[in-house]
Amino acid sequence: MKALPFFAVIVMTISFTTGCFASGNFQTDEFKTKSGKTVTITAIKHASLRIQYDGLEIQVDPVAQYEPKTDYSAFPKADVILVTHEHFDHFDPSAIAALTKKGTQIIVNPAVEKKLGSGIALKNGDSRKIAKDIQLDAVPAYNTTPGHTQFHPKGRDNGYVLTIDGLRIYIVGDTEDIPEMAALKDIDVAFLPCNQPYTMTPEQVAKAAKTIKPKTLFPYHYSETPVKRVADLLKGTSIDVRIRNYK
């Protein structure tokens, strides 16, 4: 076989790597709704996840450039895109553009709506029916530790509770263990961020989990935090702690 030019080898290698990363090699978890339908949650990275349900594609905080870089053009177009807040590891207009098709609902907090120049802005306390059996509630997400409140001030950013055919998924965004969590009931799946000074320590995550009492907990947004500490702190509870690649 004739040897390929060096440049062609490089191109083929890059294409293969990008294609593999975009199309597969992600960790997934499946959950059942009250009527027995399947919800598949894919861990993309950090605070970025994909939710599939009954033919619908939901992308949460899609970011292309945050490491590892992600080719969102390789994913199916999204029916719904959720953005919690404006920080670069959560909000990326290029990723949103790559995922958008006619009819895509781009749901954001008011600060992102101003920066993006489009989207459906929900503030804390707002709700929206995004499909016949999917309800979305925007809930508070903010810092409380003195000296950290400038990172995520109260009232600006969103967390989201997605109720999909009875399955309740709490996507917390960037927050600490705030008092408003005590009002959340019947959470099946929770995503809690774990990296100080921006979000929570493992101890705060464990405290929040004991307040929310989700059936399944995914620590996410954890960077270099020793996230297995969360699982250790929650041993003896009924909470199923799952560590996925949300670095």
Q: What pLDDT score does 25 carry?
A: 84
Look over the chain and give the mean of its residue pLDDT values, rounded to a whole number. Answer: 91
Question: 27-241 has which CATH code?
Answer: 3.60.15.10
Q: How confident is the model at residue 14 (pLDDT cuts 50, 70, 90)?
A: very low
> How buried is residue 143: exposed, middle or buried, by Cβ count under 10 Å (0-12/13-18/19+)?
buried
What average pLDDT does the segment 101-112 reach? 98
Domain boundaries, the chain: 27-241
pLDDT digits (tens, 9 = 90+) for 130-186: 999 999 999 999 999 999 999 999 999 999 999 999 999 999 999 999 999 999 999
Helices (H), the chain: 6-23, 93-99, 110-116, 202-212, 228-233
Strand-pairing partners, residue 240, are 216
